[in-house]
Structure 1
Amino acid sequence: MKIQKILSCFVLLFSIQTITAQDDLLGQLDVKSTKKEATPYTFKALQICNLQSTKLPAKGEFYMLITHRFGDLTEGINNFFGLDNANTKIGGIYGLTDWLSIGVSRHTFQKNYETAFKYRFAKQMENGFPVTIAGYNTFDINTELDKTNYPSLKFSNRLAYSAQLLISRKVTQSLSLELATIYTHKNLYDNTTEYADLALLGYGARYKLTKRLSLNLEYDMRLNAIDGYMTNKFQNPMTAGLDIETGGHVFQLVFSNSQAMNDVSLFTNATGKFNKGIYFGFNMYRVF
């Protein structure tokens, strides 16, 4: 009889512990289901194609970047489908914090040196904030200008700037979208074909095709380019590309109507149209 009572007490105690454990587990599941976490991988690369994405390096990460734009594909064999003349950009980007990075690069075009800052205001959260918001600013120095052609040249004439507000959302596991408001300023410009100040509205999209491949598209509409001659001289930037993920880096193939890669020239001096002025190239980022 004593043994039966002891066994009955043991069974009762075990049942109480099991019920308590189940309650604790259900409580943990409830907490987990309501916890807000950042939405992962809205964009895999720091750029969509030419346009910046809302992705930033993590604190302490260093990205080495090499980007290339060949000449006009539509000229065909005359310039060997663009291989005879190309622009190159080489530089590095460092994550100062998880929300702030700095980048420095040198461009073949205009022998331009560019310093860039990207900073995050907010992250898209699962079960929470609907979008990621980031800012991006560039500061350019055109070192190709010389006093032989510009006797009154000042250092300030070499400078150009851009400011961008980037808003992105991962809509589904495959589709990510971005809206960008863009402002550019040049201290030196041709007032018959260019603007000192230009405002644009940019659109970007990434669609995941496979685990390691995505299709990217972007279009930037110049808002204050209204008078006919200037509008005909330069075009709204358009770009299509592919993201290819390979181990420690993302490799991007790009087709664009702009050969320049520094942001000010990209947004203000795109010359290509659908049938003429298409530039093939690539972006390669290596993270350390």
Structure 2
Amino acid sequence: MPTTLAFVIGLLGLAVGSFLNVAVSRVPAGRSVVRPRSACPGCATPIAARDNIPLVSWLLLGRRCRTCRVPIPARYPLVEALTATLFFAEALRFGRSETLPAALVFTAGLLALAACDAEQFLLPRRLIYPTLGLTAACLLAAAAATGQWHRLGVSAACAVGGFAVFFALHQVRPAWLGFGDVRLAGLLGTGLGWLGPWYLVLAVLAGSFAGLLVGLALMAAGRATRRTRLPFGLFLAAGAIAAILAGAPAVDWYESVSSPYPADTSTLTIVRHRP
């Protein structure tokens, strides 16, 4: 994909990130993401269009509400900038392929879920299910366009498998996993299964390892104990996004060393000797 077009998709990510902020603020409270229009949580003044430009308005306002001067949380520009960056990176990663729309929808949903989990230790069904439905619809369209129905089947199998494994863990030790994590595993299986089952495994391993490192670091700093809760959904979402963007070399290497057959038989040459 040309860098210019990827940049345009990155700008689209800014707008999507702005909407994700609305979803993160309202969905956990059971409020509509459509009405009423955005307003300052401090003074309830509706936000003017000039103050609602993603990332730019936060900088021009000096990180404060124009009316009451209450600080605007850093989560707003962070989500917007991160969404734009990931959209740009995935546009370069997938190019003009049928996989790109599903990857963008999947990533946007994961960012919203990660933010909710980081702030409230909550993975709302009202975010998981729409992300699941939109991702599945995009993958269905990709399968119809390319004829790769087997990949759609792998995606469905990974969704069921991921949900089943996490459900079993939840039943054995509910303190380890909330049921939101179980639902999230099904979503991860859907989005990553299209790329291959090992991407799902890699995402779970990477997310678990990241969570372990953060927990150990907090304990070493005296800011957490063994009983301190950590937003596991945040780490799973980060592992999934990392698997999408950077997991291909690791998956290709593992498949090459674990397969008993040559990775590319097209390069083999048959030499015929005269008797």
Q: Is TM > 0.5 for Structure 1 vs Structure 2?
A: no
Larger Rg: 1
Higher helix share: 2
Higher strand share: 1
Give the TM-score of the pair, scaled to structure 1: 0.24
